[in-house]
Amino acid sequence: MSTGSAPAIRLIIADCDHASIAEEETVAAERNIHLELRNCRTEDDVIEAALDADGIVVQYAPVTARVLEALPRLKAVGRYGVGVDTIDVAAANASRVAVCNVPDYCAEDVSDHAIALAMSLARGVVMMDRNMRRGEQSLTPVHPLYRIATRTFGVVGLGLIGSATARKALGLGYSVIGYDPLRAPGTVTAGGVRVVSFDELLNNADVISLHIPLIDATRHLIDADALARMKSTAILINTCRGGVVDTVALVKAMRSGKLLAAGLDVFEEESLPLSSPLFELANVALTPHAGWYSEDSYRELKRRAVENVADVCLGRRPRNIINPEVLAQNWSPSISET
């Protein structure tokens, strides 16, 4: 920390399972801000830890209406990540608390992961590896395999991560189509992706990769009905949020042969319990919510999560904010445009 005047601003990292907070401490030192790491799990934990805090950074800890009402000094809440589903944004608006995220720190990394899962399953790598470890070297269990250039890759959600995934799929030789509720079917994106309806994508895509937030409208978007409309040779990839897929329906579809394969990095229950029926399915690739990670994204996430909250508390406009109208409500001559 700075040896100058005592820090007037106090930030709390409510919870963080990273090995170190060195990046965050560097940001705090640069801004002469007091920073503490706590181990909050419940609303009461957050309230107790942040009673006199100006800002909070959270990973999984809940920031609910009750928490916000109990912390009248609070100016900003930031999250390590893209989604803010652990934060009550409506309540934050009512309390005039800025909500910040880091929406683009891992776009390249998650799209890399989605492509890696898709390619591993498209070429039968996952099943062949498992079979070889048991002494089985026949190709029969992985039939059919298809040439990538003959396959259609469907992207659900054409935001930063979805667009990056589409770009990489195009580079591999896939024909790429995309669905996004904010884009009109029949149009073409700047990256050359043909936009189609959700139904058309389900009916025609050989790989379906999900890149959408978890909101009421997208919860169980991939349900029994959606799975029934997919090709029986289709591969489903989910690197966004576990709740977008109905796990029970997916397991039934896989067991009945209505879906060829699935690559899942996110789950309705995390950490995924060993009792999950997903572990019993042969042609499913499972990774532990790892798509976001690379050394590059890790450092960027940690630094920017704290920078956003610190900037709000210092009267500066943050790089990323979910509810910028709060800044307008709190605007004063001290708030900088930088």
Catalytic residue among 38, 289, 303, 317: 289
Would the pLDDT of 60 be above 60?
A: yes
Q: Is the pLDDT of residue 2 over 50?
A: no
CA distance 83 to 158: 16
Average pLDDT over residues 5-26: 91
Selected catalytic residue, list 151, 241, 304, 316: 241
pLDDT band at 83 (very low <50, low <70, confident <90, very high): confident
Q: 238, exposed or middle or buried, with CB in 10 Å at 0-12, 13-18, 19+?
A: buried
Q: Which domains does the chain have, with CATH numbers?
A: 10-105+295-329 (3.40.50.720), 107-286 (3.40.50.720)
Q: What is the pLDDT of residue 333?
A: 37
Q: Where are the alpha helices (DSSP H) in 31-159?
A: 43-49, 65-69, 89-94, 107-122, 125-133
User: Is the preceding peptide bond at 275 cis, omega within 30 degrees of 0?
Assistant: no
Asked about 270 being catalytic, the answer comes back as yes
Per-residue pLDDT reduced to its tens digit, 248-271: 999 999 999 999 999 999 999 999
Catalytic hit among 136, 270, 280, 325: 270
| pLDDT tens, position by position, 133-169 | 999 999 999 998 999 999 999 999 999 999 999 999 9
CA 139 to chain centre: 35
Q: How far is CA 19 from CA 14, 74, 78, 82, in A?
A: 15, 27, 19, 20
- Tokens read off for 92: 């934050």
Q: Quick count: other Cβ atoms within 10 Å of Cβ 33?
A: 23
List Cβ neighbours of 248 (8 Å cut-off, separation of 6 or more). none
Percent with pLDDT over 70 in the chain = 95
pLDDT at residue 328, as a whole number:
77
Q: What is the mean pLDDT of residues 59-84?
A: 96
Element (H, E) at 10: strand 10-13
Quick check: is 241 catalytic?
yes
pLDDT for residue 5: 59
User: pLDDT tens, 165-220?
Assistant: 999 999 999 999 999 999 999 999 999 999 999 999 999 999 999 999 889 999 99
Retrieve residue 158's tokens: 């054409």
| Lowest mean pLDDT, pick from 37-46, 242-251, 307-316, 329-338 | 329-338
Task: Give the pLDDT mean for 60-85.
Answer: 95
User: Would you state the pLDDT for residue 3?
Assistant: 47
Query: Residue 43: what pLDDT?
Result: 98
What is the C-alpha to C-alpha distance for residues 179 and 183, in angstroms, rounded to an integer? 7
Average of pLDDT values for 294-321? 96
Whether 220 is catalytic: no
CA distance linking residue 32 with residue 45, whole number of Å: 26
Mean pLDDT of 265-286: 96
Nearest to 39 by CA among 10, 17, 65, 69: 17
Residue 1 pLDDT exceeds 50 = no
What does the mean pLDDT of the chain come to? Answer: 94
Q: What are the residues whose beta carbons fall under 8 Å from the beta carbon of 109, sequence distance 6 or more?
A: 291, 292, 293, 294, 296, 297
Q: Which residues pair with 194 in a beta bridge?
A: 177, 188
Question: At which residue do the structure tokens 């309705």 appear?
Answer: 268
Mean per-residue pLDDT for 95-121? 97
